[in-house]
Structure 1
Amino acid sequence: MNNHQLELAKQLHKDGHLFYCTCGTLPGLLQSMDFSTLKCFPPGQPEKFSAFLDKVVGLQK
């Protein structure tokens, strides 16, 4: 099984939401990172998940 936390960190980095590095690349990242390039994470939409659950358990068509 893969390391899902690492996969998530890499994807969030690719999407521009955070900086990702390894121990070996940390010094270079600390010298070059620019916080202004980070994108805000979009707000959640919990109503979509609750509507999905309602459908699954048969409370909604």
Structure 2
Amino acid sequence: MLVKVILLFLVAIMVLGMFGKLRLLKPWRGKPLDKRASTSKHCPACGRPRIGSGPCPCGKD
């Protein structure tokens, strides 16, 4: 009985892995996360990401 449960678990993990590979083969439907982060605005003085339109908390810009 325990062997059947272990084999069923391994088969389920293999099926999930196959679906994961199929999902990775599809073209990306947006910008990758690293490109989104690199296009965000940063403070030229301290390098912190700028959120909103207000001034940076460092006060140097």
Larger relative contact order (Cα-Cα within 8 Å, sequence gap ≥ 6): 1
Fold-level similarity (TM above 0.5): no
TM-score, structure 1 length as denominator? 0.29
Bigger Rg over Cα: 2
